Amino acid sequence: MSTIDKVMFVFPGQGSQYPRMGEDLYHSFETAKEIFERANDILNYDLVRIAFKDPDNQIGLTRYTQPVLLTHQVACLRVFQEMTTSEVTPVLSAGHSLGEYTALIVAGVLSFEDGLKLVSKRGELMGQYGQGSMLALPLTRDDAQLIAEKHGCQLATMNLLQQTVVGGKDSDIEKLEAAFAELYPRKKAVKLDTEGAFHTDLMKTAALAFKEILEQTSFAPSTMGVVSNYTAELHAGDGSATKNLLFDQLFKPVNWLGCLKTSLSFGIKTIIEFGGGIGKEPEPENKRPNLQSIIKKNFRAFDYPIDYYPAINLKTIEESAKSF
C-alpha cells in the first residue's frame, strides 16, 4: 500500500509509561534522538535520563509521565514516517486522555514545543491538586453511573461497552468497591494507580489553573480530523474550540468508546497506535501496545473489521512499516 485514505493514528494515555521507554529508538535513529534531545531543551531538565534510567523512580509521577509519554509517541511516529517515507496519511487522529495532545500535534494544531509545554504543566497541576482515586468496573456506562452516583463518585472514562472507569474521593471509592463486590461477586473491579481521580470534578481546581496556560497557547487549523475525548466529535477545523475542549477534558469523562464509534462514520479501515507500552518484561522490544485490546474488542462489538498495527518500539515499528 502506498496511498491510504482510511487510516487513523491513535496515542495512548497515562499508564503506558515504563523505564527505558524510547531507548531503542534513541540509539538507532537520529530522528528519535533529535526529538528526545529537543524535549530536554524545551523542558530544561533531563527527560532522557528519566525515560531511560529513571534512577529516582520519577517516571510514574504525573508531572514527568506526561511529557515522557508525549515525547516517546512523537518519536515513534517520526521513525515510522521515516521508514514509510511519510506515505501513510491519516484522515483521523485520536488519543486517550494525554494522547489527545499528541493527536493535536500530528494534526498541526499544536507545535511539538507547545504541546510538550502544555502536558508538562498539565501533569504538574494534576499531581499538585490531585486527590481521590479511580476504579475500573466491568460494567456499561449506565450501570457504572448508577452505582457510582450512589456512593458519591463519577464517571471518568468509557473504554468499552462493558468497561467503565469511575473516580471519587478515596473513602467513597472504598465504599463503592465494597458495594460492587457484593452486587457482582463474579466480576472484578480494578483500582488504578493514579495520583487522583482524573477526569472528574476532583480535577476542577487543576483545570482552572490549567485554563490560564491554555489561554496563552496558539491553536492552528487542523490538517486532519482530531476526535475530542470529551465530546467524541471532531475538534473545529480552525482550532477555535480546542482550548475549551482541553479544559473540559481534565474534569469531564473521556469517552474513548465514543471516539472509536466516531471513526466508523469516516470508514476507517486501518488504525496505527504509536508510543507507550505495557507488560512486566523490562526490554522495550517485549512491551505490548496499551490500546490494542480495547480497540480490537470494540470493533468486534461494532461488527466492523479493522486492520490494527502497533508502532510502539523499534521492533513493532519495523514490522508494521513493512505492511505499507
pLDDT at 4: 64
Listing DSSP states for 115-135 in one string gives HHHHHHHHHHHHHHH--SEEE
> Using 50, 70 and 90 to split pLDDT, how confident is the model at 114?
very high
Cell triple for 310: 502497533
pLDDT at 191: 95
Q: Using a pLDDT cut of 70, give the percent of the chain over it.
A: 98
The reply to whether 199 belongs to the active site is yes
Residue 136 contacts residue 190 (beta carbons within 8 Å): yes
Contacts 24+ apart (CB under 8 A), 244-249: 246/100, 246/101, 246/118, 246/214, 247/207, 247/210, 247/211, 247/214, 248/207, 249/97, 249/100, 249/199
Indicate which residue of 16, 93, 97, 320 is catalytic. 97
Region 270-274: what's the mean pLDDT? 97
Q: Using a pLDDT cut of 90, give the percent of the chain over it.
A: 95
pLDDT at 3: 43
Q: What is the pLDDT of residues 214-267, one digit of tens each?
A: 999 999 999 999 999 999 999 999 999 999 999 999 999 999 999 999 999 999
Region 38-46: what's the mean pLDDT? 97
pLDDT at 86: 86
Region 32-39: what's the mean pLDDT? 98
Q: What is the pLDDT of residues 136-195, one digit of tens each?
A: 999 999 999 999 999 999 999 999 999 999 999 999 999 999 999 999 999 999 999 899
More confident residue, 57 or 114: 114
Residue 76 contacts residue 287 (beta carbons within 8 Å): no
pLDDT at 140: 97
User: By C-alpha distance, which of 289, 318, 230 is closest to 73?
Assistant: 289
Give the number of other CB atoms < 10 A from CB of residue 248.
Answer: 17
Residue 244 contacts residue 237 (beta carbons within 8 Å): no
Indicate which residue of 72, 96, 151, 199 is catalytic. 199
Distances (CA, A) of 20 to 25, 48, 267, 270: 10, 9, 36, 28
If phi > 0 it is left, if psi is from -120 to 50 it is alpha, else beta; for residue 132 that is left
> Using 50, 70 and 90 to split pLDDT, how confident is the model at 212?
very high
Cell triple for 57: 523512580
Q: What is the pLDDT of residues 9-21, one digit of tens each?
A: 999 999 899 999 9
Residue 10 contacts residue 95 (beta carbons within 8 Å): yes
Question: Which domains can be identified in the chain, with CATH numbers?
Answer: 7-129+201-321 (3.40.366.10), 133-191 (3.30.70.250)
Task: Please enumerate in sequence order all residues whose Cβ is within 8 A of that of 130, keeping only pairs 6 or more positions apart, or say none.
Answer: 62, 194, 195, 196, 197, 198, 202, 203, 206
Q: Which amino acid is at 38?
A: R
CA distance 243 to 248: 9
pLDDT at 2: 40
**What is the Cα 96 distance to its own chain's centre?**
3
